[in-house]
Amino acid sequence: DAGVIQSPRHEVTEMGQEVTLRCKPISGHNSLFWYRQTMMRGLELLIYFNNNVPIDDSGMPEDRFSAKMPNASFSTLKIQPSEPRDSAVYFCASSSPGQPFGDEQFFGPGTRLTVL
Partner 1 sequence: AQKVTQAQTEISVVEKEDVTLDCVYETRDTTYYLFWYKQPPSGELVFLIRRNSFDEQNEISGRYSWNFQKSTSSFNFTITASQVVDSAVYFCALSEAETSGSRLTFGEGTQLTVNP
Query: Rule CB under 8 A: which residues touch partner 1?
Result: 31, 33, 35, 42-45, 48, 50, 55-56, 89, 91, 93, 95, 100-110, 112
Q: In the complex with partner 1, which residue's Cβ is closer, 70 or 100?
A: 100
- In the bound state with partner 1, the residue whose beta carbon lies nearer, of 15 and 43, is 43
Q: Which of 56, 52, 59, 95 is nearest to 75 (CA)?
A: 52
Q: Least distance in Å: CB of 82 to partner 1?
A: 21
The residues that bridge with 19 in the sheet, in sequence order, are 79
Shortest Cβ 104–partner 1 spacing (Å): 5
Residues 6+ apart with CB under 8 A from 46: 34, 35, 36, 57, 59, 60, 61, 65, 67, 77, 90
Of residues 74 and 103, the one with the C-beta less far from partner 1 = 103
Residue 14 or 50 having the CB closest to partner 1: 50
Q: Is 52 left (phi over 0), alpha (psi -120 to 50) or beta?
A: left
